[in-house]
Structure 1
Amino acid sequence: MGDSKVLVVGEDGDEVAGFETALTDASVVCDAPGTVTVRLCRTAVDCLVTPLSLDGATGERVATAARWLYPDLPVVLYGTDATEATVGSVVDASRLDDAAVVRAVEAAVDSETTAARDPSRAETILASLFESIPAHMFVKDREGRHVLSTDHLVDPAELVGYTDTELNDDEPDVFRQAIYQDDRRVIDRGEVLENVEEYSRKYDVHLLTSKVPWRDSEGAVTGLVGLCREITDRKRREQALRASSERHRRVALKAAHELRNELQVATGRLELADAESSMLSEVERSHGRLTEIVDDVVRLAEQVETGSDRDELRLSTVVREVWETTETGSMRLTIEADGVFVAEPDSTRLLVETVISNALEHGGVDCRVTVGRTGTGFYLADDGPGISAEPPERVFEAGFSETSDSSGFGLYIVYRIADDNGWEVVVGESDDGGARFDVDGVRFID
């Protein structure tokens, strides 16, 4: 076998020593399941050996990821529950140094493999990136399985060989399914996804994710390459600024609303005065000027910026970001469907925040909010007392309120945001008898 090199996954100690002693003219290197594929980019290997069962992974998944990088790499898997595998040969043995495993490896290394050649400069550059870059970077194969991953955010052993839908973690199923659908867009259509904002509940981080097609030497898409940059600090600063701005907006609108009411009363009383005096004319002019000032305050406060900076937004990320920064108490949130759409980020978050705050205001802290998709957009529904206004569309009128302690401008702002984005917002009854707001005209990127 000459100077053959065997890469052993997840083993060390006496078994490895005995295994190497039993081999003829071969050296052994060991690596953890999550970094095996990175090692292959740096080390010439004649055979990969792995137990079927690994801590936090399976040998077959690790071998599948390795084979995607080096399709002709010989693979030997072993275990007492050995069954036929889709990759490599399987040996019924409980230990690495079992004679049956040794024989299988010696037979495997006799074949020529591209993994046994010295790594190219490009491969060593790739290995250096994945070993040291301070960001979550990953490569996935044609099926969306993780082939390479850095250890910046998550242990690669939890990812290698798995698609996002197969991961057993704390992320909602709908979120993992949405990530997988993004993968399919890149792999099946050759699209580039750039700077999609995501929120990971498991790690409590905000990410800016980009994915590009991984093309082979003939230009065919064979997978994808992705990069996640953490933007948690930036997002929290933005959230604090938005919260402050919204408080100021609501204070201004409520103050203007109360001033307008008082001015209407004062003006009415003035009209009933029968005394003729230049002083009364001055008061009337002052009332007129105050009315103009109030109108200006309302006009400025209800302005919502929906400029040209439109980004790809994930529905679940927007909703969860708002949920985490809103005092929702014991309210419950269910996201039934997810997807990516293009919109102006700040105004979209304000729309979602206002509807959730409306559910809290009317339904209380025990209210449940449900978010999902429709054929023409998305909806936010609650199980509170519902809308009592007749017709229900009155809730979108400026100054209208069903309670005495509300400014009556929140849902008007929702209407304005939807209209400025080219959407339509419709209010109705939810399946639970509460309020439901449908935002129609939203184009999801499936």
Structure 2
Amino acid sequence: MESRSVLVVSESSLSVDDLDASDGTVSVTVLTGPTEVFEKLTRSAYDCLVLPARVHDRSAVELAYGIRSLFPELPIVVAGSDPDSVAPRSDITVVAADSVLEDAVAGAVADRLEGDPPAVAGRPPSPMETLLLSIFTEMPHHFYAKDTEARHVLMGRGFNEPTDRIGLTDVEVGELQDDHGKAALQDELDVIEGRTDRIEVEEFLDLSAEYVETVKVPWRDSTGDIAGIVGLTQDITERKEREHAFQRQYERLVKTALVAAHEFRNELQIAHGRVERLEAGTDETAAIVDSLDRLESIVDTVVDLSTTDSRLAEQKPVWLSRLCREIWDALTEGDATLQIDSDARVVADQESASLLLQNLFENAIEHAGPDVTITVGATDDGFFVADDGPGIDADSPDRVFDAGYTTDEENTGLGLYVVQMVADDHDWTVSVSAGPDGGARFDIGNVDLH
């Protein structure tokens, strides 16, 4: 038999002498863990792979499925697993053995080496293969590939070890929230089944990277058919923090313009009332009225210019929890608490939606006190923001959305007016009611849930 190469993964300390290679025709490479498996298989030629039943507390069968997606003809022998745990036609040989050293494993390897060398793993790599592997393993971002069932088959080192999720879908990954895992899986199936050719989404993750942006596109085989998806997830926390700083500055300018406009309109109303007491029809009164009208037009222009930008911005899917948490981190001090009851992706202009949520949070803190608990959750057609404060003190609750309406003389009465403006810009509905446990509840409806 011509010389063959075998790659063995074992968490026990082994030497080549421990393995049966006495005839000199089989060379053996031993790895103490799975981290370098893909690098070895890509950069060198191997004719068989041997895995223990468990690798880093993961089933070797899951790892084997990922490997077979990239090296479909590579013989794989798993020592110690239940043969029934392997799907039919998977072409993975399972041997009931306590370790990779047993004779039964060596016999299974010998049987698998009798055939022709595997077309991909058994030959030296092409420059393109080594180039792509370098992108996956060396770039600081998280690159990954998944098969037609959205199971991980290859991962970079951006956020995880390269084998932590091999063979698993995002729903089966424990670190991800259920809502996020299900949404990610559906996104990938949409790409795999041809319903879209690109997925792009930003989200807040309670992992090492707080804010991430994910792009997923089809992985096409040599015939052009979709073989799965290729994805890139990158940490955008620093970028988001800069955006938040600019956004807070913008929001201050908008509020300043709205407050100034409110005060100007009050004074203009008083001036109009006094002009009406003067003798009508004189040149003096006509000139005063013209000046007041021009001032009103200037005020309207200032308000329009300060609020138009958000109306024209692009609306994209965004996680409700991500918007809430980034606002909360920059907004609150003291004992106030934010609870996310349920999550959803909403289609919105993110800056405007942030302004809406910020004003609802500030309204709750102002009226319910610094130790308020605010709850946010998804509904069938949008989302709600509720607090455990004293509730709405108004004869007609909808009056709280009027510009200048306030029960506190030190308040401008513009916060909920801005909420109504943002809702109108998105063609959303907004209503207020008493919460189930007291306090106020604001429901935002007619929202496009993605």
**Shorter-chain TM-score: what band?**
0.7 to 0.9
2:320 is aligned with 1:315: yes
Match of residue 190, structure 2, among 162, 172, 185: 185
Measured in 2, the distance between the counterparts of 1:22 and 1:349 equals 69
2:399 is aligned with 1:394: yes
Match of residue 135, structure 2, among 129, 132, 138: 129
2:82 is aligned with 1:91: no
Displacement, 1:162?
Answer: 1.8
Measured in 1, the distance between the counterparts of 2:286 and 2:258 equals 28
CA displacement 1:159-210 (0-9 Å, x = unmatched) = 22221121122x4332222222222221233523344222222123322221
2:425 is aligned with 1:424: no
Q: Could you say if the C-alpha distance between residues 294 and 240 of structure 1 is closer, same or farther in structure 2, counting changes exceeding 3 Å?
A: same
Q: Could you say if the C-alpha distance between residues 435 and 219 of structure 1 is closer, same or farther in structure 2, counting changes exceeding 3 Å?
A: farther
Work out whether residues 34 and 160 of structure 1, in 8 Å CA contact, stay in contact via their aligned partners in 2.
no
CA displacement 1:350-389 (0-9 Å, x = unmatched) = 2222223323333344434333333333333333333333
* SS at structure 2 position matched to 1:354: helix
CA displacement 1:404-436 (0-9 Å, x = unmatched) = 332211121121112112322233344433333
Displacement, 1:16?
Answer: 4.9
* SS at structure 1 position matched to 2:380: coil
2:43 is aligned with 1:42: yes
Which piece of structure 1 moves more, 181-190 or 280-289?
280-289
Measured in 2, the distance between the counterparts of 1:23 and 1:433 equals 81
User: Which one-letter code corresponds to 2:208 in the other structure?
Assistant: Y
User: Which one-letter code corresponds to 1:6 in the other structure?
Assistant: V
Match of residue 324, structure 1, among 315, 320, 329: 329
* SS at structure 2 position matched to 1:416: helix
CA displacement 1:27-83 (0-9 Å, x = unmatched) = 22345424423443333322221112222533121111111222332221123x746
Work out whether residues 381 and 435 of structure 1, in 8 Å CA contact, stay in contact via their aligned partners in 2.
yes
Measured in 1, the distance between the counterparts of 2:436 and 2:17 equals 65
Measured in 1, the distance between the counterparts of 2:294 and 2:444 equals 38
Match of residue 251, structure 2, among 246, 253, 256: 246
2:414 is aligned with 1:405: no
Which piece of structure 1 moves more, 9-18 or 191-200?
9-18
User: Which one-letter code corresponds to 2:255 in the other structure?
Assistant: R
Normalising by structure 2, report the TM-score.
0.84
* SS at structure 2 position matched to 1:428: strand
Same amino acid, percent of matched pairs: 38
Q: What residue in structure 2 maps to residue 414 of structure 1?
A: 419
CA displacement 1:234-277 (0-9 Å, x = unmatched) = 2111101111222333344345545655776788789899xxxx
* Matches for 1:8-407 after TM superposition, within 5 Å: 8-11=8-11, 13-14=13-14, 16-19=16-19, 21=21, 25-31=25-31, 32-55=33-56, 57-79=58-80, 82=82, 84-86=84-86, 87=90, 88-112=92-116, 113-114=118-119, 115-169=121-175, 171-258=176-263, 298-303=303-308, 305-327=310-332, 329=334, 330-339=336-345, 341-407=346-412
User: Which one-letter code corresponds to 1:52 in the other structure?
Assistant: A
Measured in 2, the distance between the counterparts of 1:61 and 1:194 equals 26
Q: Could you say if the C-alpha distance between residues 215 and 433 of structure 1 is closer, same or farther in structure 2, counting changes exceeding 3 Å?
A: farther
Measured in 1, the distance between the counterparts of 2:129 and 2:180 equals 33
Displacement, 1:336?
Answer: 0.9
Q: Which runs of 5+ in 1 are unaligned?
A: 274-278
Measured in 2, the distance between the counterparts of 1:145 and 1:104 equals 27
* SS at structure 2 position matched to 1:381: strand
Q: Could you say if the C-alpha distance between residues 220 and 280 of structure 1 is closer, same or farther in structure 2, counting changes exceeding 3 Å?
A: closer
Measured in 1, the distance between the counterparts of 2:434 and 2:192 equals 40
User: Which one-letter code corresponds to 1:107 in the other structure?
Assistant: D
Work out whether residues 9 and 34 of structure 2, in 8 Å CA contact, stay in contact via their aligned partners in 1.
yes
Q: Could you say if the C-alpha distance between residues 22 and 344 of structure 1 is closer, same or farther in structure 2, counting changes exceeding 3 Å?
A: farther
* SS at structure 2 position matched to 1:84: helix
CA displacement 1:106-135 (0-9 Å, x = unmatched) = 222223333323434432332222122232
Displacement, 1:224?
Answer: 0.3
Q: Could you say if the C-alpha distance between residues 235 and 10 of structure 1 is closer, same or farther in structure 2, counting changes exceeding 3 Å?
A: farther
Normalising by structure 1, report the TM-score.
0.85
Measured in 2, the distance between the counterparts of 1:349 and 1:389 equals 26
User: Which one-letter code corresponds to 2:38 in the other structure?
Assistant: T
Instruction: Work out the number of aligned pairs and report it.
Output: 439
Q: Which runs of 5+ in 2 are unaligned?
A: 279-283
Q: Could you say if the C-alpha distance between residues 257 and 308 of structure 1 is closer, same or farther in structure 2, counting changes exceeding 3 Å?
A: closer
Q: Could you say if the C-alpha distance between residues 364 and 50 of structure 1 is closer, same or farther in structure 2, counting changes exceeding 3 Å?
A: farther
Q: Could you say if the C-alpha distance between residues 168 and 10 of structure 1 is closer, same or farther in structure 2, counting changes exceeding 3 Å?
A: farther
RMSD: 3.4
Q: Could you say if the C-alpha distance between residues 383 and 5 of structure 1 is closer, same or farther in structure 2, counting changes exceeding 3 Å?
A: farther
Measured in 2, the distance between the counterparts of 1:334 and 1:288 equals 48
Work out whether residues 37 and 147 of structure 1, in 8 Å CA contact, stay in contact via their aligned partners in 2.
no
